[in-house]
Amino acid sequence: MLKDITIGQYYPTGSSIHKLDPRTKILVTFALIIGLFIINTFIPYLYVVAFIAAAVYISKIPFKYIIKGLKPLKVIIIITFVINIFMTQGTPIFVMGPLKVTAEGVYQAFFMAIRLMLLVMGTSLLTLTTSPISLTDGIENLLNPFKKIGVPAHELAMMMTIALRFIPTLLEETDKIMKAQMARGADFESGNIISRAKSLVPLLVPLFISAFRRADELAMAMEARCYRGGDNRTRMKELKMTGKDTIALGATALLIGILIIHRVIL
């Protein structure tokens, strides 16, 4: 399960999408998120699927690797599906005691499940195709205009990137601790939900200790290197948009335009 989590990981392939400006990929990701919430019928999902499929193909990342990132979220997807089936009012198609399945509930359940899966697949491409350093520079550059109203652009960008960067590290640490506890007789899989939750205590305590230790080591390393934030900071590679970025932004704008037209007019 832990090895299936792909968020925060970088998958270098040297593709055209990897070489795009990080600001472009961040803007495209936000536009895709907005587009998914604009959709109110199933047909526009086909446009988003085609867009994501084209991006995955160009990025040269194995499609099964993208799908693997959905496995840890299967419980959330199933819960969302079940809640929408039983909690949406409408024309009943199946009644069993207090439980009632409606046609509108089934429609809404599939609608929300597809939206959640596309949301995860689309946003995971951002971290899979962008290195942590480039992601930091891109977020900071996009937040720079908000410095005038007191937004700490560099600190926010650094905090978000460190959080993403430490996800794979913490997952690896969790896997090591879990295997060590299982070698000592711990059981994390049998029993009901309450017993499983109790069995996680021997796992969570050393994990939190390890996380705080790594955070302290990182802080000391940054202090030892005289890190003082983004003021007067120089970069080896300056961000620069090219024609490929213009094409990517244009394709995204076209997709959003189609989704808006489909919702408003069609």
Report how far residue 6's alpha carbon sits from residue 130's, in angstroms, rounded to the nearest whole number: 13
Mean pLDDT value of segment 192-214: 79
Alpha-carbon dihedral angle through residues 130, 136, 142, 145, given to the nearest 10 degrees = -170
Q: Exposed, middle or buried by CB within 10 Å (0-12, 13-18, 19+), for 122?
A: buried
* pLDDT reported for residue 8: 65
Q: Is the pLDDT of residue 235 over 80?
A: no
- The token pair that represents 266 in the structure block: 């069609």
Q: Give residue 99's region: left, alpha or beta (phi > 0; psi -120 to 50).
A: beta
Q: What proportion of the chain, given as a percentage, has pLDDT over 90?
A: 28
Taking each helix axis from N to C end, the angle separating 243-264 and 22-38, rounded to the nearest 10 degrees, works out to 10
Inside any domain, residue 224:
no
Query: What are the E-state strand segments in the chain?
Result: 92-96, 99-102
**CA-closest candidate to residue 9, choices 48, 61, 49, 51:** 61
Q: Higher confidence at residue 33 or residue 68? A: 33
How many structural domains compose the chain? 1
Inside any domain, residue 195:
no
Inside any domain, residue 198:
no
* pLDDT reported for residue 146: 86
Inside any domain, residue 93:
yes
Q: Is the pLDDT of residue 140 over 90?
A: no
Vertex 56 angle, CA 51 and 58, to 5°: 95
* pLDDT reported for residue 230: 63
144 phi, psi to nearest 5 deg: -55, -40
Report the chain's mean pLDDT, rounded to a whole number: 84
What does the pLDDT look like over 47-69, one tens digit per residue?
Answer: 999 999 999 999 999 988 888 87
Q: Is the pLDDT of residue 210 over 90?
A: no
Mean pLDDT value of segment 4-17: 79
Mean pLDDT value of segment 17-30: 94
Give the pLDDT band of residue 233 (cuts 50, 70, 90).
low
The answer to whether 102 and 89 have CB atoms below 8 angstroms apart is yes
Inside any domain, residue 39:
yes
Q: pTM for the whole thing?
A: 0.80
What does the pLDDT look like over 98-129, one tens digit per residue?
Answer: 778 888 888 999 999 999 999 988 888 888 99
Neighbours of 34 (CB within 10 A): 12
Q: Higher confidence at residue 72 or residue 47? A: 47
Inside any domain, residue 218:
no
Report how far residue 119's alpha carbon sits from residue 111's, in angstroms, rounded to the nearest whole number: 12
Instruction: Give the domain extent around 20.
Output: 2-161+233-264
Inside any domain, residue 193:
no
* pLDDT reported for residue 167: 76
Q: Is the pLDDT of residue 196 over 80?
A: no
Q: Exposed, middle or buried by CB within 10 Å (0-12, 13-18, 19+), for 65?
A: middle
Inside any domain, residue 9:
yes
